[in-house]
Structure 1
């Protein structure tokens, strides 16, 4: 495997009208970030580009992390924010079985409603998971992604609600998880980093960040 990805860390300018618009409207945010990747990527451009993003907010700053195979931050408005761009190849090369890492991810934990037998062939609606059910969902997905969790700290994130004008209307329940884990399968973890975890990837879910765990 020769993984290829870049990560842009964009410290958003709160005075930018484009930023204000994108923070209000998840569809506009998605459209803005798709400008960072090449054009003419076919019928599934986000998936083809490998574009994932996450909004990290504190009391004083809002920072976008944007990941894709290639990124061109110059295609954003000049006043959008300050951008640092880095190649993720060194991180992929450092992933080894047995190492301990810190992680952060925003996910959309859901389950699909089970329908009665007389509705076989139909898809049940997706039901958001909260509390221990959401924690179990993330623990299971993390294991599939090559991580054995040591700790997990859930933080509810405001649900993504595109404006009422969107058709069909959407609402994505999001939870951020922070913690530490042991890498059990570097190849599975690389795949998860490149492709994201779970649903709602067009709305700020799925991107997992990794860093070496510090020891006391």
Structure 2
């Protein structure tokens, strides 16, 4: 299994960079344009493209994960700086009982049944927050070969934009989860790292980042 991580530091003085950072749909199209054309249907899934926008010491950064390296020459001139590295050594080093640090921006939701929706006047999808969101993440982690040790959640702005194909507006609530966990199933974790977790994967949700925890 080969995975690549690309770190893009967009120059927010660049018009295209500012536009992409303000609309998840535009950023999705920008990143997909870094890969070969004519891949066909389900191109994102085929390429394993996941991304996350986050604050870093050097400023806002875009993390892009994929199963093949992107062509960074396709970024507009002056868009920012970017570099790609393989994640295969990290994947190969995963083992049971290894303690890791994790971070993910995910679409924590629940889908209540019709009776519950009618009783409480709820929509078909209900965003979760606080303790309910953390419980959602712990369940997702357990299904991803992890046992959560610590978790800290932070509400983020929703991923928004207008889809080009049908002009429908999209909105995906996002919560950032970070902390430490114990690997219980390395193979399951590798699969979930590649596939992503939860909904909204095309729009900046579901990219799980991990690193070995520092030993005290």
Instruction: Output the TM-score relative to the length of structure 2.
Output: 0.91
Greater fraction of residues in strand: 2
Aligned partners of 1:7 and 1:68 also within 8 Å: yes
Is there any run of 5+ residues in structure 2 with no aligned partner, and where?
A: 116-122
C-alpha displacement of 1:130 = 1.1
Q: Which residue of 2 aligns with 1:14?
A: 12
Instruction: Output the TM-score relative to the length of structure 1.
Output: 0.91
Distance 1:134 1:213, change over 3 A: same
Distance 1:161 1:192 in 2: 24
Q: Which residue of 2 aligns with 1:63?
A: 61
Aligned partners of 1:37 and 1:68 also within 8 Å: no
Q: Which residue of 1 aligns with 2:142?
A: 143
Q: Which residue of 1 aligns with 2:206?
A: 206
Q: Which residue of 1 aligns with 2:45?
A: 47
Q: Which moved more, 1:86-95 or 1:125-134?
A: 125-134
Q: Which residue of 2 aligns with 1:102?
A: 101
Distance 2:194 2:57 in 1: 30
Aligned partners of 1:7 and 1:88 also within 8 Å: yes
Is there any run of 5+ residues in structure 1 with no aligned partner, and where?
A: 117-123
Q: What is the number of residues matched between the two proteins?
A: 209
Distance 1:102 1:33, change over 3 A: same
Q: Which residue of 2 aligns with 1:33?
A: 31
Q: Which moved more, 1:72-81 or 1:85-94?
A: 72-81
RMSD: 2.1
